[in-house]
Amino acid sequence: MPKIIDHDAHSQDLARRAAAYFSQHGYGGTSMRKIAQHLGLSKSALYHYFPTKEALFLACTRQVMPGMDALPQDVTGSETDRLQALKEMMGQDFAAEMALIFDYLRGKSQAEIAQDEAMQLALSAYRGAVAAIVGETRSEQVLAQIMGELMLAYLSGGKAIDRT
């Protein structure tokens, strides 16, 4: 009797596991062959679930980004407290995440980036997490501030931002 596999659940599991591989090795340093080996699959089996590396990356993004929605409900307190908690959550893997994003976007035009489904999904998740705290009107400005502060902290060796 053939083994019955829940295709959707299996592809989600593969994407979740591949996300960690992308994070560790980068987008450019990863091939479908290497990912298949890491996942314990043949390359053709991986292509059965994901026709391209970009499709796999999108599936990985879909697995990782929903975690952004968890914070606003989990953290209570003032707006400042909730934004600080969000910033701390975003800062945990910030350097690796930004390196992966820039690696993925390398060589793409601004128009291609604007149309890229994985980037739209990620931005939507970030915007949604911020908007849940400060509202839609201020979400872009606050997200830009958080991302800027995280980037500045990273580039200055992890030093806290002096707000005086």
Residue 140 lies in a domain: yes
* Predicted confidence (pLDDT) at residue 154 exceeds the cutoff of 60: yes
The answer, yes or no, to whether residue 139 has pLDDT greater than 70, is yes
For residues 83 and 146, membership in a common domain is answered with yes
With a pLDDT cut of 90, the percent of the chain lying above it is 63
Domain identity same for 69 and 124: yes
My answer on whether 104 and 139 are in the same domain is yes
Q: pLDDT-based confidence at 9, cuts 50/70/90? A: confident
Same domain? For 109 and 57 the reply is no
Domain containing 37: what range? 7-61
Please say which residue of 18, 39, 61 terminates a domain: 61
pLDDT (tens digit per residue) in 50-80: 999 999 999 999 988 877 666 645 567 889 9
Does one domain contain both 74 and 146? yes
Tell me whether residue 29 is in a domain.
Answer: yes
Cα-Cα-Cα-Cα dihedral sign, residues 145, 127, 96, 93: positive
**The token pair that represents 24 in the structure block:** 């560790």
90 and 116 inside one domain:
yes
Say if residue 121 is in the same domain as residue 102. Answer: yes
Kindly report the number of other CB atoms within 10 A of residue 21's CB atom. 17
Per-residue pLDDT at 47: 96
Please enumerate in sequence order all residues whose Cβ is within 8 A of that of 29, keeping only pairs 6 or more positions apart, or say none. Answer: 103
C-beta neighbour count of 47 within 10 angstroms = 16
Q: With contact defined as beta carbons under 8 Å apart, do 97 and 23 qualify? A: yes
Say if CB 129 and CB 86 are below 8 A apart.
yes
Task: Tell me which amino acid residue 60 is.
Answer: C
Q: What would the mean pLDDT of 72-96 be, rounded to a whole number?
A: 83
Residue 6 vs residue 74, higher pLDDT: 6
**Distance from C-alpha of 99 to C-alpha of 97, rounded to nearest angstrom:** 5
Task: Please check whether residue 160 lies inside any domain of the structure.
Answer: no
How much of the chain exceeds pLDDT 70, in percent? 88
> Residues 97-123: pLDDT tens digits?
899 999 999 999 999 999 999 999 999
CA 126 to each of CA 8, 90, 118, 135: distance values in angstroms, whole numbers, following the listed order = 25, 9, 12, 13
* Domain identity same for 78 and 145: yes
Measure the CA–CA gap between 129 and 24, rounded to whole angstroms.
25
> 13 is written with which tokens?
């599991």
Cβ-contact 133, 79 below 8 angstroms = yes
Same domain, 88 and 145: yes
Residue 7 has pLDDT above 90, yes or no: no
- Residue 44 inside a domain? The answer is yes
Residue at 120 is within a domain: yes
Residue 1 lies in a domain: no
Domain count, the chain: 2
- 44 burial (CB, 10 Å; 0-12 / 13-18 / 19+) is exposed
